[in-house]
């Protein structure tokens, strides 16, 4: 069963918004056993969109339309379906009533334009959208399935919950993906380590994904998932300590699970990352069991007054220095009462600092085991900040996995 | 001049990575006067990609290929260009030497696979990639331009710097976009306020973009930019105080500029956002002139021990309460030595807290003027955290714009 995703909105072509829905929909379709053959974005242009629906339906069994279900004049998806599939729009009194009730509940007067969201193509089912006003649409015609979902991500999630099980039931074919997650080794070096002696069975796909200093080795099959086990074992053996997780593991998740399992906690003192390291450690549900809190010591004087770096040390070494990083980690550990203190200080740019170039970063962990690292990180301010967060999380992860605890 | 973007990589169709390059390339092409008519992602499949290149070149003058220039077996873009445009690959000795020098400089042995990145299609120019190993490609054939750029965003930026001016010189046609940025009013209500009395001149496009609690009203023209001025003025007048900025303004940027202009600073105490509010205030270059730092008081006891909320108040009111938020803002202001203290505390979920439902958030600003707000934010944990950051930034922005300072 083949599928295509067509995201609708001139803002996507102009680059005003990032089309994150494309990834969400691709992942959901792949997991439901639908082979996604195209993922396209087109402008709010009725004839262009109608032609695209016809073009895609010539190739695929399932077409997901995303966006363009809102109340404004540039929301065309309902009209596109009506025109492309000869399914004239009819106002649904139940949806109209729900819209009126919603606005009444909010104590707001309902703009008339909102009622367009109660118009449903003939022969279509609507998909409840508990997160917004525009319901989704499921329409079957000539053996093809066309689904229209709202663009705002929370509404897309809400309106699509019933879509994926229905599609999976039709394909009866599930794609299994296994990933080996690597840190500290480049993409081509990973390939050179993994590929000797590796034999891919028929129907097994393999690829490398490199991003943000990490490399993922991915194996996929639509057959027996067990064929992937020896391949993952081969990669694990070939990559050794560079492997930090598998499949959907995140480094925050690995850190959280290790801390939780050991009944330990972490606290942060961070400078150049400005809060992003704490935000990463607090992102997942249950973070409060392992993350105490953090100090964002952006101004140099706060490194002493808030985080407790001795003034003479700070004066002598400066804000960007290994012993300052170590003192920040110790300050986080003691002042915030955690098992581990994790600290970063460095130069995010655009300009150098204390004679040190952009990308100079010192990372420190203080606790049952201690370490200070210097890193030279590539890229601009945003990238240096993002890579610093990842490097700090992996520094703590190594200590939690080292067994020295 | 029409253009298309073709992103290459099975990982994009499987949703393993978000195709953020699509927005970057769309924005750059639009600014260069190229009308982007399609933005597509396809899998690492040679025949499919060759066919797609032919299909797009039938419709457009410029085709941007993105990704697939790496060193591994699934990087096919060079072969796609060679096959689709009958431009056989030839190894470039200068690029080969640069690759050898790069790895020598890193003190790493160069895997042979890396040398594939020195293969250049016949008749193509290469585009320097100062951020990585894979150069880009610029190839002109039969009056069409085909550009191949590396997928990692920093490498894409580095390799594309010369591409946009070259394309803009050919189009001689520049698209002007003006945006009116609105906070606190829904999309359809914005439309009902703006549209009465609004007359769009020929060739002027208008659209609404709603995301993350904000609405953008966008006008575009390829003609005289001056025609947009009265439209922007009309929208400003119709929306009044709901307008907080224009065009590429960000709320962090507006806050930073107002603080900088007044010689003022801000410090943060945040709970449910776990550092994300501080990270937003420290994101832009020059943030150190207006952002002092922050306290991430995730554990309840830190709200007293680190941020100075009086213990009896915390015991009586709890962690999620208006007076606790006010005390956190005052603690940030005084303990971190800033003109303004900004604080948030609330329930991000997945579970309620102190009998309060997920999405209950208290926001406080302390300084020349003070305010405490209660918000009921929709969505899951990630969305509540993101909306809390935006709401807090807009709370401070309102105080900085109120003229009461």
Q: Are B221 and B203 a contacting pair, CB within 8 Å?
A: yes
pLDDT score of B222 more than 90: no
Nearest CB partner across the interface for A293, out of B186, B189, B296: B296
Are A234 and A281 part of one and the same domain?
no
Nearest-CA distance B399 → chain A (Å): 23
Nearest-CA distance B321 → chain A (Å): 18
* DSSP code at position A114: G
Lowest mean pLDDT segment, chosen from A140-154, A169-183, B134-148, B234-248 = A169-183
Q: What is the mean pLDDT of residues A221-242?
A: 93
Q: Are B43 and A38 a contacting pair, CB within 8 Å?
A: no
3-state secondary structure A157-178: HHHHCCHHHHHHHHHCCCCEEE
User: Within 10 A of A251 (CB to CB), how many other CB atoms are there?
Assistant: 21
pLDDT tens digits along B376-388: 998 889 989 999 9
What is the structure's pLDDT at A84? 97
What is the structure's pLDDT at A16? 83
Cβ–Cβ below 8 Å for B380 and A154: yes
Structural domain boundaries enclosing B140: 2-171
Q: Is B8 an 8 Å CB contact of chain A?
A: no
Q: Which of B2, B23, B62, B309 to mutate to test the interface with A (most CBs of A within 10 A)?
A: B23
Q: Is A26 an 8 Å CB contact of chain B?
A: yes
**Cβ neighbours of residue B124 closer than 8 Å, sequence gap 6 or more:** B81, B87, B137, B138, B139
Are B194 and B130 part of one and the same domain?
no
Cβ–Cβ below 8 Å for A12 and B24: no
For residue B292, list chain A residues with Cβ-Cβ distance below 8 A: 298-299, 302
Q: Is B338 an 8 Å CB contact of chain A?
A: no
What is the structure's pLDDT at B403? 60
What is the structure's pLDDT at A385? 96
Cβ–Cβ below 8 Å for B216 and A16: yes
Are B77 and B151 part of one and the same domain?
yes
Q: Which helix (H) or strand (E) holds B229?
A: helix B228-239
What is the structure's pLDDT at B52? 94
Nearest CB partner across the interface for B285, out of A131, A301, A381: A381
* DSSP code at position B357: P
Q: How many Å separate Cα B139 from the centre of its chain?
A: 30
Lowest mean pLDDT segment, chosen from A15-19, A127-131, A292-296, B228-232 = A15-19
Q: Is A358 an 8 Å CB contact of chain B?
A: no
Q: Which of A294, A309, A319 to mutate to test the interface with B (most CBs of B within 10 A)?
A: A294
Are B163 and B180 part of one and the same domain?
no
For residue B2, list chain A residues with Cβ-Cβ distance below 8 A: none
Are B279 and B180 part of one and the same domain?
no
Separation CA B199–CA A304 (nearest Å): 59
Cβ–Cβ below 8 Å for A336 and B191: no
pLDDT score of A241 more than 60: yes
User: Between residues B130 and B336, which one has the greater pLDDT?
Assistant: B336
Residue A232: which CATH number?
Answer: 3.30.70.2860
| A296-325 residues touching B, CB cutoff 8 A | 296-299, 301-302, 305-306
Q: Are A325 and A336 a contacting pair, CB within 8 Å?
A: no
What is the structure's pLDDT at A403? 60
pLDDT score of B404 more than 50: no
Q: Is A378 an 8 Å CB contact of chain B?
A: yes
Q: Is A333 an 8 Å CB contact of chain B?
A: no
- Of residues B374, B362, B367, B373, the one with CA closest to residue B400: B367
Domain boundary among B185, B218, B246: B246
Q: Is A375 an 8 Å CB contact of chain B?
A: no
The phi and psi torsions of A139 (rounded to 5 degrees) equal: -130, 125
Nearest-CA distance A185 → chain B (Å): 11
What is the structure's pLDDT at B172? 85
Domain boundary among B171, B197, B226: B171
Strand, helix or coil at B307?
coil
Are A391 and A268 part of one and the same domain?
yes
Are B315 and B224 part of one and the same domain?
no
Separation CA A308–CA A395 (nearest Å): 22
- Measured CA to CA in angstroms, residue A209 lies from A292, A319, A395 at distances of 33, 36, 22
Mean pLDDT across chain A: 94
Report percent pLDDT > 90 for chain A.
81
Sign of CA dihedral A269, A270, A276, A281: negative
Nearest CB partner across the interface for B191, out of A12, A43, A72: A72
User: Between residues A132 and B89, which one has the greater pLDDT?
Assistant: B89
Position B392 confidence tier, pLDDT thresholds 50, 70, 90: very high
- Show the CA angle centred on residue A296, arms to residues A294 and A300, nearest 5°: 140
Are B185 and B210 part of one and the same domain?
yes
The phi and psi torsions of A214 (rounded to 5 degrees) equal: -115, 155
Separation CA A151–CA A133 (nearest Å): 12
Are B280 and B239 part of one and the same domain?
no
Q: Is B12 an 8 Å CB contact of chain A?
A: yes
Q: What is the mean pLDDT of residues A228-241?
A: 96
- Residue written as tokens 């203080």? A366
pLDDT score of B213 more than 80: no
Residue A299: which CATH number?
Answer: 3.90.950.20
What is the structure's pLDDT at B219? 94
Domain boundary among A171, A197, A227: A171
Q: Which of B293, B302, B333, B349 to mutate to test the interface with A (most CBs of A within 10 A)?
A: B293
Q: What is the mean pLDDT of residues A134-142?
A: 96
Are B183 and B164 part of one and the same domain?
no
Strand partners of residue B227: none
pTM (predicted TM-score): 0.79
pLDDT tens digits along B250-293: 999 999 999 999 999 999 999 999 999 999 999 999 999 999 99
- Of residues A200, A187, A202, A208, the one with CA closest to residue A230: A200
Residue B21: which CATH number?
Answer: 3.40.980.10
Nearest-CA distance B220 → chain A (Å): 11
Separation CA B328–CA A337 (nearest Å): 19
Are B26 and B131 part of one and the same domain?
yes
pLDDT score of A329 more than 70: yes
pLDDT score of A63 more than 90: yes
Are B223 and B316 part of one and the same domain?
no
- Per the structure, the count of domains in chain B is 3
Q: How many Å separate Cα B46 from the centre of its chain?
A: 32
Report percent pLDDT > 70 for chain A.
99
- Of residues B51, B62, B73, B30, the one with CA closest to residue B149: B62
What is the structure's pLDDT at A404? 46
For residue B235, list chain A residues with Cβ-Cβ distance below 8 A: none
Q: Are A332 and A267 a contacting pair, CB within 8 Å?
A: yes
- Of residues B58, B35, B115, B50, the one with CA closest to residue B83: B50
- Measured CA to CA in angstroms, residue B356 lies from A73, A292, B320, B353 at distances of 39, 22, 8, 5
pLDDT score of B207 more than 80: yes
Cβ–Cβ below 8 Å for A293 and B306: yes
Cβ–Cβ below 8 Å for A295 and B292: no
Cβ–Cβ below 8 Å for B268 and A291: no
Position A405 confidence tier, pLDDT thresholds 50, 70, 90: very low
């Amino acid at each position: 069963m083949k599928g295509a995703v067509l995201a609708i909105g001139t803002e996507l072509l102009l680059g005003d918004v990032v089309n994150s829905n494309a990834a969400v929909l691709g992942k959901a379709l792949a997991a439901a056993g639908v082979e996604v053959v195209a993922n396209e974005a087109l402008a709010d242009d009725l004839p262009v969109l109608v032609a695209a629906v016809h073009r895609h339906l010539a190739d695929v069994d399932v077409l997901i339309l995303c966006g363009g279900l809102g109340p404004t004049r540039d929301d065309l998806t309902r009209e596109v379906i009506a025109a492309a599939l000869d399914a004239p729009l009819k106002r649904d009194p139940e949806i109209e009533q729900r819209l009126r009730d919603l606005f009444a509940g909010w104590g707001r007067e309902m703009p008339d334009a909102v009622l367009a969201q109660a118009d449903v193509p003939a022969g279509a089912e609507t998909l409840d959208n508990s997160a917004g006003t525009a319901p989704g649409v499921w329409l079957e015609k000539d053996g093809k399935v066309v689904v229209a979902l709202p663009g705002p991500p929370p509404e897309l999630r809400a309106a699509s919950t019933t879509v994926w099980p229905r599609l999976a039931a039709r394909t009866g074919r599930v794609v299994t993906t296994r990933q080996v997650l690597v840190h500290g080794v480049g993409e081509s070096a990973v390939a050179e380590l993994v590929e000797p002696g590796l034999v891919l069975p028929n129907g097994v796909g393999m690829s490398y994904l490199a991003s943000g200093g990490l490399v993922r080795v991915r194996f996929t099959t639509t057959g027996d998932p067990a064929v992937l086990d020896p391949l993952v074992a081969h990669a694990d053996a070939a990559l050794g300590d560079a492997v930090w997780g598998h499949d959907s593991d995140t480094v925050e998740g690995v850190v959280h699970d290790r801390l939780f399992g050991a009944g330990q906690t972490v606290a942060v003192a961070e400078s150049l990352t400005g809060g992003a390291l704490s935000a990463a450690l607090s992102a997942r549900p249950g973070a409060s069991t392992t993350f105490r809190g953090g100090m964002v010591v952006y101004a140099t004087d706060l490194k002493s007054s808030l985080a407790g770096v001795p003034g003479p040390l700070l004066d002598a070494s400066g804000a960007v220095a290994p012993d300052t990083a170590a003192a920040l980690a110790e300050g986080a550990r003691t002042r915030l009462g955690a098992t581990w203190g994790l600290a970063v200080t460095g130069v995010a740019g655009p300009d150098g600092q204390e004679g040190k170039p952009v990308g100079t970063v010192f990372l420190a962990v203080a606790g049952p085991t201690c370490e200070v690292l210097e890193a030279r990180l590539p890229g601009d301010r945003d990238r240096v900040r993002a890579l610093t967060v990842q490097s700090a999380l992996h520094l703590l992860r190594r200590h939690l996995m080292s067994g020295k605890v």
